[in-house]
Amino acid sequence: MSELAVPKPEPEAKQASLWKDAFHTMRRRPDVIIALVILLFVFAMAAFPALFTDKSPTRCIGREARQRPDTWFRGEHPLGTDAFGCDFAATIVHGTRPTIVLALTVIVLAVLIGLVLGMLAGYYGGWLDAVISRMLDVFIVVPLLLGAILLLSLFRGRGSSGNVIETVAPAAIALTIFGWMEFCRYVRAATIETKNLDYVVAARCLGAKDRRIMFRHILPNAIIPVTAVVPTTIGAIIVTESALAVLGIGVQPPATSWGVLLSNGTQWAGGGYIYLFGLPLLLLVLTVFAFATFGDALRDALDPKLR
Amino acid sequence: MADTIRVAGDTLPGADMNASLLEVDGLRVDFTVRRKRIPAVRGASFTLDQGTTLAIVGESGSGKSVTSQAIMGILDSPPGHITGGEVRLRGVDLLQQDEETKRTVRANHIAMVFQDALSALNPLWSVGFQIGELYRVHRGTSRKDAKQKAIELLDLVGIPDAKNRIGHYPHQFSGGMRQRVMIAMALALDPEVLIADEPTTALDVTVQAQIMRLLKKIQQERNMGLILITHDLGVVADVADDVAVMYAGEIVEQASIHDTFARPAHPYTKALLRAIPRVDTVGRELEVIRGLPPNPASLPSGCPFHPRCWAVEPKKCSSEVPPFEPVADDHRSRCHFAKEVYRDER
Amino acid sequence: MGRYVIRRILQGLLTLFIVLFLLHYLMALSVQIRGNPAILFFGGERTPPPAMLAQVERLYGLDNNCYERTGDPCLVPFVERLQNYASGDFGTTLNGNRNVGELLGIYIPNTLRLFIFATLTLVVVAMVLGTWAARHRGRFIDHSVRGTTILIDSVPVFLILLAYVYMAAVPLTRWARDIWGTESFMGQVFRPNYNPDYPWTTILVPGIIVGTVGLATLTRLVRASQLENLGSDFVRTARAKGLGKMRITIVHVVRNSMIPIVTGVGYLFAFMLSGAVLTEGIMGIPGMGRMIFQAVQRQETNLVVVGLTVSAVVVVLVSLIVDLLYAALDPRIRYE
């Protein structure tokens, strides 16, 4: 019966080809390319603001306040100036970094928490699973924005000295605490499924240690559904931060984020200074749209069943 | 119930009662995959007479299920297209009929039993509803009468306590009972042709035999034509009258069940027979067929079976397509060496 | 069925209890770390006379010693709080000293109206677009539906609203009033703010805008579940039974695809709650969302906690309803 003994495909090889296939599918989609270009632009602004503007957002001249950007992207202030006479282009560019740093910090922390708790719950089951699942239930009852509102208003500081820890960290922590549940749920489900697959059971029978099984076999599987929702979630975090900013409890001054700019811009939007509201809005929507499009394509590529 | 009087309008217009029950003639089906056309059935022809059972045997991917779906007119299209041939029911070519006629032919004249009853039945409706639905849609029967008829049918296929089981949902039945429900559903409108696509593959061996016996019994009682689609020659040995062996989208051998088992005339059939466990081969290793079924997108040249054939003559088999020729009365084979294989005792 | 329902209800109650406790504990921690919110009653940093402070503390239930020990879960006040909630006493606002329970009586119906419009918009639009995309899978319509819904979903609700309020509402209202008059439906529907005289009409537009929350997610879900069912074995059986296209769609596809859609709506409900906070704040709708909005701005933590409690009750209730609908739709769960 030797002919029937078809070599069993290695799980690791299967994983590699899934990612490779996903990469190939994504590369051929024009919407993904556009989304990537937008994201690259935004990340470049966050990393190297000096490339995009030579002005400082803190150098403000009162008598130059509220110059409309009528110069068509040329001249002293390509995007005009804001209510205090600061160069608006510089303000937007320098507002990118806190926005992106906050979003990336939250997503990394939330994914880590989700992965660890989800794998523990799914792999060991029993009381650990019961506790973690109950925690999931409890946290899921509080929507991300409301949870962040709760924490930030309960533990609001009294002014800040201006370093990153005090301006960005509270919002980041609050969003993380109410942002890990989705990842945890996915990881837990994927872990339970993978745990009972034949090759994992076989590995356990051969005496592989728990930690090795988790990292070698379960993690590669659990990471797939998580990856698929990461870009969309980053978009959601950026949006939630801007909502917090409008409420005045997001990123604190002197740091600015897009949300802070939007919230400042609303009071001028009706009075003919629409660019103060419209430009940050455009940037935020483009970025979130790029993340969402990329995420949607990624999800399709990683789950090709219903393309 | 075999002599139930047919409701007016149920008979097929233009039907010739002297013609054969079902004739499939040169049926061709292509699949379009990534803008490429891949032939799945390449000119299948066979005849099914009233009161007989035809087994269509082949490996997965040989085109046997596609053939049955094309006859039923339920091929998923796209990707599948019927590109040629005729399917004649009592002389009427079904492929030429309008959508409405095709719809009435299904269930009224040709009905189908699927392989996996758990997924083939809608999980959200009771079995009574799903059987009764046929009467209500095709006959305009009232809800109550339809339920009564459904109970009778469940009784007929041997489901105990049919009266209470009627309100149960598919997941509440065992595998064998579920397959009986499928059979009951297929029988509802008293069709002349019943197609059973691997009806026992998902079942335990003991249940397999019961379902086969049930199908045979109903086929005889109602004098139906039965097409059994299977990959397992052993399962159909007691039930079928004729056998058509499919390979790579073609029928490669066609004969009565007796002839097929006694004197196969195609190397593939012979190989299939050797792979059945038998009492007189106890202690010997079962034979397997080398290699894998061919990829329909790139069929081997010449005879499509030649890369796996044990009786191959390299030059001829890899260049010339063998003709489908008789080796005896009602026994045809698609092999250059059909006569030699036929003469050869197995 | 009965056991299933009871188990779900008990689970929901347990979750709710833990949420309430956590809310209480967080608030206690906040008092312990940040100091006494009763001071706010006297308007910020000024130190009030101790006797008056003690009176105010008693008034707001902050007179327990546990509030001075950082980390103490303050179980006694928690039990008192639960008792108060149960008897309908939600405390009073620091600003204006109004009875929160009475305020809830006004606010909750307004928010419910908002949600009725929002949910209807979400479900109807997603069903139509998702079905449409599924029928034209892989073709231009499919891609455009996907792109459009993602774009709509990418614009945060409150920004759509702000844009609407600052740019579209005034000219639209003026235009409509010129044609139909101020008191007509059309004259009111585009207003940039809520008008208590027209509790339904003036909540329609914000409701529709809140309904775009999660549009992409739900459309995607509808599309996927329809595709899955259209390609399923039981739809093939239905075709083999000679059923017509309409009957197959209505009887065998729609009901089966309702299950993921119900789940999706339940899941998105929590997000709509978030959307309501800013929507009501911006439009001036006196609802739960605006209460939380103002509570944050006025630093009234008690109101934030009450608002979140109500939202938690709603979310638990909605997920309970979803579970029951699940059972109603799917016999496999009903006969578990």
Whether residue C60 contacts residue C302, with contact meaning beta carbons closer than 8 Å, is answered with yes
Name the residue among C269, C250, C270, C246 with its Cα closest to residue C258. Answer: C250
Residue C18 with chain A: CB contacts under 8 Å: 134, 138
Within an 8 Å CB–CB cutoff, is residue C228 touching chain B?
no
Name the residue among A191, A105, A178 with its Cα closest to residue A146. Answer: A178
CA distance B246 to B242: 13
Whether residue C144 contacts residue C232, with contact meaning beta carbons closer than 8 Å, is answered with no
Within an 8 Å CB–CB cutoff, is residue A229 touching chain C?
no
The residue of chain A with its CA nearest to that of C269 is A143
**Per the CB < 8 Å rule, is A1 touching B288?**
yes
Q: Hey, which residues 138-177 in chain C have their CB within 8 Å of chain A?
A: 138, 143, 146-147, 150-151, 153-156, 158-159, 162-163, 166-167
Domain ranges of chain A: 29-49+79-306
Nearest-neighbour CA in chain A from B292: distance (Å): 10
Residue in C146, C291, C296 to test binding to A, most A beta-carbons within 10 Å: C296
Within an 8 Å CB–CB cutoff, is residue A4 touching chain B?
yes
Nearest to C274 among A140, A144, A269 (CB): A144
Chains with ≥3 CB–CB distances under 8 Å to B? A, C
DSSP state of B140: -
Asked if the A29-49+79-306 domain carries CATH number 1.10.3720.10, the reply is yes
The residue of chain A with its CA nearest to that of C45 is A158
- Residue C30, token pair as written in the block: 């906040």
Residue A140 with chain C: CB contacts under 8 Å: 270, 315
Predicted pLDDT of residue B323: 80
Query: pTM score, two decimals?
Result: 0.79
Using an 8 Å CB-CB cutoff, list residues of chain B that contact chain A.
285-286, 288, 290-291
Confidence of residue A176 (pLDDT cuts 50, 70, 90): very high
Whether residue B49 contacts residue B242, with contact meaning beta carbons closer than 8 Å, is answered with no
Phi, psi (5° rounding) for residue B57?
A: -115, 140
Nearest to B120 among C237, C243, C335 (CB): C237
Nearest to B120 among C233, C329, C330 (CB): C233
The residue of chain A with its CA nearest to that of B288 is A1
Nearest-neighbour CA in chain B from C260: distance (Å): 14
**Per the CB < 8 Å rule, is B120 touching C234?**
yes
Order of strands across the sheet with B22-33? Answer: B36-48, B22-33, B80-89, B92-93
The rounded mean pLDDT for chain B is: 81
Within an 8 Å CB–CB cutoff, is residue A1 touching chain B?
yes
**Per the CB < 8 Å rule, is B291 touching A3?**
yes
The per-residue pLDDT for range B253-280, each reduced to its tens digit, is 888 888 888 888 888 888 888 777 766 6
- Residue C235, token pair as written in the block: 């739809």
Other Cβ atoms within 10 Å of B162 Cβ, number: 19
Is there a cis peptide before residue A225, judged by omega within 30 degrees of 0? no
Beta-bridge partners for B54:
B227, B242
Phi, psi (5° rounding) for residue C139?
A: -105, -175
The residue of chain B with its CA nearest to that of C258 is B124
Pairing of strands B53-57, B225-230: parallel
Within an 8 Å CB–CB cutoff, is residue C233 touching chain B?
yes
DSSP state of A162: S
Please list, residue by residue across A138-148, b when 16 or more beta carbons sit within 10 angstroms of its beta carbon and e when fewer do: bbbbbbbbbbb
Within an 8 Å CB–CB cutoff, is residue B32 touching chain C?
no
Q: Is residue B75 part of a domain?
A: no
| pLDDT tens for each residue of chain C, 336 residues long | 678 888 888 988 999 999 989 888 888 888 777 766 666 656 555 566 777 777 766 666 677 777 777 777 778 888 888 888 888 777 777 777 778 888 888 888 888 889 899 999 999 999 889 988 888 887 888 889 888 888 888 888 888 888 888 778 788 888 888 888 777 777 777 877 888 778 788 888 888 888 888 888 899 888 888 888 888 889 988 988 888 888 888 888 888 888 888 888 888 887 888 888 888 888 888 888 888 888 877 777 778 888 888 888 888 888 888 888 888 888 887 765
Residue B290 with chain A: CB contacts under 8 Å: 3
Predicted pLDDT of residue B2: 37
Residue B281 has pLDDT above 70, yes or no: no
Whether residue A9 contacts residue A18, with contact meaning beta carbons closer than 8 Å, is answered with no
Q: How far is CA C263 from CA A50, A57, B198, C218, C260, in A?
A: 47, 47, 36, 10, 5
- Residue A90, token pair as written in the block: 């510089």
Nearest to C237 among B104, B121, B137 (CB): B121
Beta-bridge partners for B247:
B250
Confidence of residue A114 (pLDDT cuts 50, 70, 90): very high
CA distance C150 to A93: 25
Residue in A42, A150, A289, A307 to test binding to C, most C beta-carbons within 10 Å: A150
Tell me the three-class secondary structure of chain C, residue by residue.
CHHHHHHHHHHHHHHHHHHHHHHHHHHHHHHHHHCCHHHHHHCCCCCCCHHHHHHHHHHCCCCCHHHHCCCCCCHHHHHHHHHHHHCCCCCECCCCCCEHHHHHHHHHHHHHHHHHHHHHHHHHHHHHHHHHHHHCCCCHHHHHHHHHHHHHHHCCHHHHHHHHHHHHHHHHHHHHHHHHCCCCHHHHHCCCCCCCCCCCHHHHHHHHHHCCCCHHHHHHHHHHHHHHHHCCHHHHHHHHCCCCHHHHHHHHHHHHHHHHHHHHHHHHHHHHHHHHHHHHHHHCCCCHHHHHHHHHHCCCHHHHHHHHHHHHHHHHHHHHHHHHHHHHHCHHHHCC
The four Cα atoms C205, C206, C209, C213 give a dihedral, to 10 degrees, of: -150
- Residue C26, token pair as written in the block: 């967080």
Predicted pLDDT of residue A184: 92
Nearest-neighbour CA in chain A from B290: distance (Å): 7
Nearest to C301 among A154, A285, A296 (CB): A154
Q: Is residue B297 part of a domain?
A: yes
Residue A2 has pLDDT above 70, yes or no: no
Number of domains in chain B: 1
- Total number of residues shown for chain C: 336
DSSP string for B50-111: TT-EEEEE--TTSSHHHHHHHHHT---TTTEEEEEEEEEETTEEGGGS-HHHHHHHHHHTEE
Whether residue B44 contacts residue B68, with contact meaning beta carbons closer than 8 Å, is answered with no
Nearest to C240 among B104, B112, B171 (CB): B112
The rounded mean pLDDT for chain A is: 79
Residue in B34, B286, B288 to test binding to A, most A beta-carbons within 10 Å: B288
Whether residue A186 contacts residue A146, with contact meaning beta carbons closer than 8 Å, is answered with no
Within an 8 Å CB–CB cutoff, is residue A90 touching chain C?
no
Within an 8 Å CB–CB cutoff, is residue A5 touching chain B?
no
Other Cβ atoms within 10 Å of C56 Cβ, number: 20
Within an 8 Å CB–CB cutoff, is residue B289 touching chain C?
no
Please list, residue by residue across B78-103, b when 16 or more beta carbons sit within 10 angstroms of its beta carbon and e when fewer do: eebbbeebbbbbbebebeebeeeebb
Beta-bridge partners for B246:
B251
Domain that holds residue B290: 258-346
CA atoms lying within 13 Å on the CB side of residue C269: 26
Other Cβ atoms within 10 Å of B292 Cβ, number: 12
CA distance C329 to C322: 10
